[in-house]
Amino acid sequence: MKRQYFSADKDGLYGACYECPVPSEKGVILMLGDAVDDRMAVSGVRWLHQQGCHVMAMAPAKKDYGHHNYPLERFGKAIKILQDKGCGKIGIIGASTTGMLALAAASYYPEISLTIAISPSDFVMEGFYRDGKDGMRERPGDNESSISWKGKPLPYLPYAYRHPEYWQKIKEASRAGKDLVASRSLFDESERMHPVREEEKIKVEKIQGKVLCIGAEDDVLWDTCKYIRRMGERLKNRPHHCRFKALLYEHGTHFVFPESMLKMMLPVGGSLLVGAAFRAGRKYPKECRETRLDIDRKLRKVFRKW
């Protein structure tokens, strides 16, 4: 697969551009996995190539999923690179934390005409690190936002707990629910202690084109369906030009990927992975798979029409 790497120091972003095997005017910024060339990212690239898109895979840094003051200007660099390759249409896809990041980036760059956010929040999260400090897998930043713009951190929802209690609470919730990771109670408590303020909310009304937000009620990382519904309600009360669509499912877990993309990530046992990670995946494997199949059909249709 032909690719061109870009570094933050030299090019202003950490990414890898994967040219589509067939001529195309469509270019998509993709944020999946811990790097721009790991199995998760490359599987997403292959799936998007099937949809006839060039792909710029992006991540904060090599093998680093932590997000702290991630410069939104990097997306401007990515857009320019794709445009220079002949892409007249620019899309963006993110999942989980990068679902939030995709929405935020699209609200700043009107060149983006297709935004797909999988399991996103509707607010800017506080920054976090995955550096193993004191044996903790993850920790909140020191009063840092997850996103910055022009060198300044964006306002964010602060976490209810600090290090090391932050990861200890996540581990407790994960054990209690028999999930690989569960942080929904942490986010619920964060909102209880600090109701989301206007300045912390993503300005979804500024996004152009098609906006598709996907979530499942049984997501144990955070209440993404509540967040997605709030975005829909926000748009009812504000002038906007985007076409917003919410795909909400009862079952699907945090991994509401298209089924064929998940199979590329794990050719054997994709559903087993979902079950191994989340209790809902074990309890409702058929329903979760039906969710992913429905998402697959609908996303393919979106790309055909784009």
What CATH number does residue 78 fall under? Answer: 3.40.50.1820
Residue pair 179/189 in contact by the 8 Å Cβ criterion: no
The half-sphere exposure of 152 on its side-chain side, counting CA atoms within 13 A, is 3
Q: Any idea which residue has 């680093």 for tokens?
A: 64
pLDDT of residue 135: 94
* Distance of alpha carbon 148 from alpha carbon 231, whole angstroms: 21
pLDDT of residue 269: 55
* Distance of alpha carbon 14 from alpha carbon 164, whole angstroms: 29
Residue pair 188/161 in contact by the 8 Å Cβ criterion: no
Residue 207 sits in which domain range? 3-305
pLDDT of residue 34: 81
Reported as a pLDDT band with limits 50, 70 and 90, residue 267 is low
pLDDT at 165 over 70: yes
pTM recorded for the entire structure: 0.96
pLDDT at 271 over 80: no
pLDDT at 285 over 90: yes
Mean pLDDT computed over every residue of the chain: 95
Q: Which of 1, 174, 175, 40 is nearest to 118 (CA)?
A: 40
Reported as a pLDDT band with limits 50, 70 and 90, residue 214 is very high
Reported as a pLDDT band with limits 50, 70 and 90, residue 66 is confident
pLDDT of residue 61: 80
pLDDT of residue 245: 98
- For the chain, what is the domain count? 1
> Does an H or E element contain 121, and which?
none
Reported as a pLDDT band with limits 50, 70 and 90, residue 270 is low
pLDDT of residue 208: 98
Please state, as a whole number, how many other Cβ atoms lie within 10 Å of the Cβ of residue 302.
16
pLDDT at 268 over 60: no
Among the residue ranges 42-56, 207-221, 274-288, the one predicted with the least confidence is 274-288
High-pLDDT (> 70) share of the chain, %: 97
pLDDT of residue 239: 97
pLDDT at 64 over 80: no
pLDDT at 292 over 90: yes
> Does an H or E element contain 249, and which?
strand 243-249
Beta strands in 37-185 (DSSP E): 54-58, 70-71, 89-95, 112-118, 126-129, 139-145, 147-149, 152-153
pLDDT of residue 173: 97
Mean local confidence (pLDDT), 201-210 = 98
Q: Which of 228, 229, 220 is nearest to 278 (CA)?
A: 220
pLDDT of residue 293: 98
Reported as a pLDDT band with limits 50, 70 and 90, residue 19 is very high
pLDDT at 177 over 90: yes
Reported as a pLDDT band with limits 50, 70 and 90, residue 1 is confident
